[in-house]
Structure 1
Amino acid sequence: MAFISRILVILMPYALAQQFTGFVSSYEYFDLSASCLRTLNTTLECSGRLASHANFESHRVDVLDADGIATICTAECRQSMEDLRSRIESDCDPKNDLLDHGLTLFPATHILDRYIYTYEISCYTDRDSGEPCDSILGTWRNQTDDGPHDCHDCILGPMEIEVNSEIGHTEDRAIEFQAAVLSCSKTGYTYTQPSTHSTASAAPAESTIAALGWSAQRMSADCASTYHVRDGDTCERISAEQSVSSKGLIEANDVINGWCNGLEAGQELCMPAKCDVHFIQPGDSCESLGEKYGATPKDLQDWNPLMYIQCDDFEYTKSTYVCVGRSFHYQEELHICDSSARYRNNDFSV
């Protein structure tokens, strides 16, 4: 009898996390010391929504809605992360207690640092008004005028966090930030090139975009289009009708959790790029999808970058729509910012 491989899909944000109430993760497969493992298993005083909001495959941080700001941006959460980071530094060996993520070794603080980075950007408040910047960005998103916001603190402040962080830093982004601060004649913003903790070389720099384009990128996530939720809609129905993967739909909209809770009529959803979709059912396998759609295991991974698809002897247990082809094509336009090389210094302050 021929061996039939099955599809295993693991939702990555829940495989990589400090412990949250309701979101328990295993670190046993990392070769960690007992003291380090015990500390990493500490439960944070943070909402599980922070776990789903953090992006482990990109440094981009999507904008939170009002409920998200109220749930995530608490002083208790911030303090518990600071306290835990100190304990990890004390209890984990920096040379031997390492986390393997994406075939790259990181210090034991790396996962927590992702949550702190996400918190700092999502919970940043305007220097003048004290209002949460994600709330302000949400207001701009709903405005019909094209008034410039390039020099606003809610643009420059989160950019400052991004470029000074090992997680968010790229050389092009740093040049763009310095150019924006100087062109806006703003003071109080600093830049110091962060150190690199991983054992692999840094990722290639992304295309440089103007400050306003950066804010639009955060406000719209990866929206190829938008969809107005109707009565009776479910994630499965929307995925089927709009030809998008279930995981792509959920990740593009912070109001929806992994079980599609939070979907309400009247909402405007961000829609990812369309694709040919297939509803996974018991008995599906890499072989059966390959025969039906001509898709290789590598194709499935490339078309579903937010999912970990492993063709192994495991059965997929949750029904969902996955991308099995790319017959739809969209072209993104990036606003390129021509920044002078004279800003390529390592230390910058005004």
Structure 2
Amino acid sequence: LLAIARGALLPNETDIEISCDPDCRLSLLGIQAVQQAACSSNDTIVESGTIYPPTYFTDLLLHAFEFACLQNDAGTEYCFPRFIEWNQNEEEEEYCNECNLGVWKSRLSSPFGWRDGLFDQYTSLTASCNAAPSWAVTSPSQYALGYTGAMPTMPSTTTSSTPRPTLSCQSNYTIQASDWCTSISRVKQVSTYNLMRVNNLPAYCGEFPGPGTSICIPETCRVHTVSPLDTCGKIANAAGVTTQQLISWNPNINPECSNLYNMVDYVICVGPLGSVATTTASTTYTPIQTTM
């Protein structure tokens, strides 16, 4: 379940059968209750510069269980393997299937799965499907308790021989009302991590400045917006580079690429700094033109 939650495993039917034991969910709920009763507000978990409640890992596993173990209305099959198949192969005729919509909704209903960009895709999807109001989702409550201000760094165990490049401010940009770190990254053709790093801001867009603030824009690179179905190998193959190169250009991706799930909807480099700023294709939902 942790590998599924981290995005390090796209489970097949065998994986689902092993992971989706109902007793497992009951055990996790029991652990969660014990933690909530025993821990105080001073007990926290810090990961990648973000401060979480003490139930963080249990909550993360329960989130994985909810979306990975979702079944169709008849209870005859698990939805997630079909979700992966339909979206990877762009089988548009299945986009409005209850299983596809259900996995999208389950992921977005949790703070672990919510991303503004994914919400926009899902909203377009439900509109194209003429889906009932019951399929609508709203932004979940804030889960993180705060930020340490520390940026994630490349672990010392990396096999890459390329040192982390020194960033410099290439230009200045004044944040507009409709801007967010990811939208600026896409327009300016820079990685979201480098944008945050050159401005000495916490990782994952924590404490991102408001409108009217002037920020530095770092060196450009060929960029790619991470999608929920991406893996390092898949991104590297599409960009015509090696996985080792991809990781060397993105110090926030660990050597195993097991933390890519944290970067969904964020922009990463698929070429060295200063390379031609062209965007690679990403596996994202393409709005359907027909209704159910």
1:153 equivalent to 2:98? Answer: yes
Instruction: Determine which structure has the larger strand proportion and give its number.
Output: 1
2:77 is matched with which residue?
131
Residues 300-349 of structure 1: CA deviation (Å, up to 9, x unaligned): 593572249xxxxxxxxxxxxxxxx97999963135768xxxxxxxxxxx
C-alpha RMSD of the superposition: 4.2
1:274 is matched with which residue?
242
Residues 213-267 of structure 1: CA deviation (Å, up to 9, x unaligned): xxxx555644438xxxxxxxxxxxxxxxxxx9xxxxxxxxxxxxxxxxxxxxxxx
1:173 is matched with which residue?
118
User: Which TM-score applies when normalising by structure 2?
Assistant: 0.53
Identity percentage of aligned residues: 17
Distance change (3 Å), C-alpha of 1:53 and 1:162 = closer
SS in 1 for 2:52: strand
1:346 is matched with which residue?
none
In the TM superposition, structure 1's runs of 4+ consecutive aligned residues that sit over 4 Å from their partners are 138-143, 203-208, 217-220, 325-331, 335-338
Q: Distance in 1 between matches of 2:230 and 2:49?
A: 30
- Structure 1 residues 288-303: aligned runs within 5 Å: 302=250
SS in 2 for 1:306: coil
Paired residues of 1:62 and 1:219 also in contact (CA < 8 A): no
Larger radius of gyration: 1
1:51 is matched with which residue?
2
Q: Residue 224 of structure 1: which of 234, 252, 267 is its match?
A: 234
5+ unaligned residues in a row in structure 2: which ranges? 148-179, 187-226, 257-270, 288-292
CA offset at residue 138 of structure 1?
A: 5.7
2:281 is matched with which residue?
333
1:88 equivalent to 2:56? Answer: no
5+ unaligned residues in a row in structure 1: which ranges? 1-49, 209-216, 226-243, 245-269, 278-298, 309-324, 339-350
CA offset at residue 76 of structure 1?
A: 0.9
Paired residues of 1:98 and 1:107 also in contact (CA < 8 A): yes
| 2:130 aligned partner, one-letter code | S
1:182 equivalent to 2:127? Answer: yes
| 2:254 aligned partner, one-letter code | L
User: Which TM-score applies when normalising by structure 1?
Assistant: 0.45
| 2:5 aligned partner, one-letter code | A
Across the two proteins, how many residue pairs are aligned to each other? 196
Q: Residue 21 of structure 2: which of 59, 63, 74 is its match?
A: 74
Q: Distance in 2 between matches of 1:336 and 1:177?
A: 8
| 1:54 aligned partner, one-letter code | A
Q: Distance in 1 between matches of 2:9 and 2:103?
A: 12
2:200 is matched with which residue?
none
